[in-house]
Amino acid sequence: MSKSFPSESAIFHKSTSEASQDKAASSPAKAPRQARGASFVELGALLEVIEQPASILSLDYEILACNAAYAAIYAEGEAILGRRCYQVTHGYQMPCDQAGESCPLKRCQETGQRQRVLHLHNTPLGQEHVDVEMNPVRNAAGELVAYLEIMHLVKEARASAGEGQGLVGRSAAFNQMLALIRRAAPAEISVLLLGESGTGKELVARAIHDASPRARGPFVTVECSGLSESLFESELFGHERGAFTGAIGRKKGLVEAARGGTLFLDEIGEIPLAQQVKLLRLIETGTYRTVGGIEPQHADFRLVCATHRHLQQQVEQGLFRQDLYYRISAFPVYLPRLAERQEDLALLVEALLKRIPGGEGVRMSAAALACLRHYAFPGNIRELRNLLERGVLLSDDGLIQPEHLPDAVREAKSGSSFTEQGPALNDLAQLPLMPLEELESAYLNAQLLSMQGDKRALAAALGISERTLYRKLQRPKN
Ligand SMILES: Nc1ncnc2c1ncn2[C@@H]1O[C@H](COP(=O)(O)OP(=O)(O)OP(=O)(O)O)[C@@H](O)[C@H]1O
């Protein structure tokens, strides 16, 4: 299929019903053109004032008009007016809610309010995250007549293994987290990232910074677990010359370094109680004093904190100040463990291999991937990355095999039973007896829905080729 940019006539063609409307309105004497009587073709031109891809949808999901940015992403050289939005953006044959996804149009219809939903859309770059904004459009009588849909392309994360170093993921658990990040990033609110080691807290903190109005400012990480009591103040607030023995010059603190940007306090749960009060004062007053300094200094940063600890429990045990906890946890975001993101495993492997020196062009065999699926990954994505680095060095022919994986990972597979990881055998026994081909086809279609129709990812997860998957899916139903 051609990926060339569609011609204007292809984008802005008229549907038959509109053509007759246009005919009636074509004589200015008979039907003066007013905004209310404007054809959807003119609406298409009006949509050009919106920078993002935008379209007007009928109450019945039909694309009535769109701007060039929308066509550039979704048309792929074909006319799209008159088609249904779910066909164009997802390749579905049914509305998103019937395909197991939340449908912003449906929600907009039910609530009468603007809706925003994170979806995975087919784009020229493959499947990508899109923040869909659906606005109700009403006539003079207040009746809902259409929808204005605006697509905010998500830059904070990728749903396919492309270039770059950012967040990658597409599983439900990841998408939930991403939706929260998108909500929090543009505001100044303090975000608290809660997640085990290696779940990507630093990467998420950076994504929040990059999507915030402070993106042009600095992003400063403070590794709180590495700060001794004596270092805490001078590192954070800086010191004046002669403030203590060895302070031979003035030193800028990390708070000053973060001016106009984001201050990321990693492992905030490790800060001793005595230092917590100093941090609290900084956050509450927005001012601080350098060590040995007299004048209060104004701080200007957006705060993002992270911890792998259960901070509320630490508060109950008297190890963490309650007032500080409330200050930093205005917007908590939970980062899922890798084990909760099984669907992302194949995608992460592909993306991380591209980021590892020497990993470009290396692949993982289906058998090795099956081993990973049985492993719990206590070290989460960092452990996966380390394991891939090792695999790249051990494999000679560009294919990582089970023997290139650490023993613990290989043993997880041989030691586990189907009931541990998959559905319980008892549950399977509840299924009605049916021909094996039908069972296979029902299973594949259900998995395909849960993976938002991504056949490539499903084939990789099943360890079969895409062609084989197509064949199995296309098996005639009788
Ligand atoms: N969603 C993701 N997509 C791609 N890479 C990721 C993702 N999440 C984490 N990583 C990678 O995993 C590694 C660990 O991530 P990171 O350092 O952000 O985790 P962390 O939670 O801050 O760990 P710790 O608590 O131990 O400091 C990094 O190499 C990072 O690039």
Per the structure, the complete domain to which residue 405 belongs is given by 338-426
Asked if pLDDT for residue 263 goes beyond 70, the answer is yes
Hunting for tokens 């001016």 — which residue is that? 259
Most confident of 12-26, 84-98, 308-322, 460-474: 308-322
The pLDDT tens digits for 32-91 are: 333 344 565 677 788 999 999 999 999 999 999 999 999 988 887 678 888 899 888 888
Contacts of 343 (CB under 8 A, 6+ apart): 170, 171, 172, 450, 451, 457, 461
Does 328 or 96 have the greater pLDDT score? 328
Q: Which of 318, 334, 350 is the last residue of a domain?
A: 334
Asked if pLDDT for residue 17 goes beyond 70, the answer is no
Is residue 383 within a helix (H) or strand (E), and if so which, with residue range? helix 380-394
Closest CA to 312 of 293, 326, 302: 326
For residue 451, how far is its CA from the centre of ligand 1 (angstroms)?
23
Mean pLDDT across 438-464: 73
pLDDT at 175: 93
For residue 196, how far is its CA from the centre of ligand 1 (angstroms)?
10
For residue 328, how far is its CA from the centre of ligand 1 (angstroms)?
21
Closest CA to 324 of 373, 285, 357, 284: 284
Q: Are 146 and 183 part of one and the same domain?
A: no
Mean pLDDT across 184-199: 95
Q: What is the DSSP letter of 417?
A: -
Asked if pLDDT for residue 137 goes beyond 50, the answer is yes
pLDDT at 475: 61
> Which pTM does this prediction carry?
0.77
pLDDT at 26: 35
Q: Are 96 and 183 part of one and the same domain?
A: no
pLDDT at 447: 75
Q: Are 276 and 193 part of one and the same domain?
A: yes
pLDDT at 457: 74
Q: Are 389 and 290 part of one and the same domain?
A: no
Q: Are 421 and 472 part of one and the same domain?
A: no
- pLDDT band for 476, please (50, 70, 90 cuts): very low
Which atom of ligand 1 is nearest the CA belonging to 381?
12
Does a structural domain hold residue 237?
yes
Interface predicted TM-score (ipTM): 0.97
- pLDDT band for 448, please (50, 70, 90 cuts): confident
Q: What is the CATH number of the domain that holds 126?
A: 3.30.450.20
Q: Whose CA is nearest to atom 30 of ligand 1?
A: 200
pLDDT at 420: 39
Which of 179-188, 343-352, 382-391, 443-452 is predicted least confidently?
443-452
Does a structural domain hold residue 451?
yes
Which residue of 222, 266, 381, 388 sits with most ligand 1 atoms within 8 Å of its CB, as the best mutation to test the pocket?
Answer: 381
pLDDT at 168: 95
For residue 201, how far is its CA from the centre of ligand 1 (angstroms)?
6
Asked if pLDDT for residue 344 goes beyond 80, the answer is yes
Q: What is the CATH number of the domain that holds 474?
A: 1.10.10.60
Asked if pLDDT for residue 395 goes beyond 50, the answer is yes
For residue 382, how far is its CA from the centre of ligand 1 (angstroms)?
6
The pair of three-digit structure tokens given for residue 258, joined into one six-digit string: 């973060």
Question: In the chain, how many domains are there?
Answer: 4
Integer Cα distance of 395 and 324 in angstroms: 49
Mean pLDDT across 22-39: 38
Distances, alpha carbon 265 to alpha carbons 50, 193, 219, in Å: 37, 10, 11
Which of 1-15, 170-184, 265-279 is predicted least confidently?
1-15
pLDDT at 178: 95
Q: Are 321 and 347 part of one and the same domain?
A: no
For residue 348, how far is its CA from the centre of ligand 1 (angstroms)?
11
Q: Which of 404, 426, 448 is the last residue of a domain?
A: 426
Q: What is the CATH number of the domain that holds 180?
A: 3.40.50.300
Most confident of 18-22, 23-27, 441-445: 441-445
Q: Which of 386, 404, 426 is the last residue of a domain?
A: 426
pLDDT at 31: 31
Q: Are 391 and 475 part of one and the same domain?
A: no
Does a structural domain hold residue 162?
no
Does a structural domain hold residue 163?
no
Does a structural domain hold residue 330?
yes
Q: Are 328 and 181 part of one and the same domain?
A: yes
Integer Cα distance of 44 and 75 in angstroms: 14
pLDDT at 89: 86
Q: Are 284 and 307 part of one and the same domain?
A: yes
Q: Are 219 and 319 part of one and the same domain?
A: yes
pLDDT at 418: 36
Integer Cα distance of 25 and 38 in angstroms: 8
pLDDT at 282: 95
Asked if pLDDT for residue 419 goes beyond 60, the answer is no
Whether 199 is in the pocket of ligand 1, judged by its Cβ within 6 Å, is yes
Q: Whose CA is nearest to atom 16 of ligand 1?
A: 200
Integer Cα distance of 133 and 117 in angstroms: 7
Q: Are 185 and 299 part of one and the same domain?
A: yes
Does a structural domain hold residue 160?
no
Asked if pLDDT for residue 425 goes beyond 50, the answer is no
Whether 253 is in the pocket of ligand 1, judged by its Cβ within 6 Å, is no
Does a structural domain hold residue 161?
no
By percentage, how much of the chain surpasses pLDDT 90? Answer: 55
Mean per-residue pLDDT of the chain = 83
Which of 4-18, 57-71, 117-131, 292-306 is predicted least confidently?
4-18
Mean pLDDT across 311-336: 95
Whether 308 is in the pocket of ligand 1, judged by its Cβ within 6 Å, is yes
Q: Are 281 and 297 part of one and the same domain?
A: yes
pLDDT at 377: 92
Cα 101 → chain centroid: 16
Closest CA to 302 of 382, 366, 209: 209
Does a structural domain hold residue 183?
yes
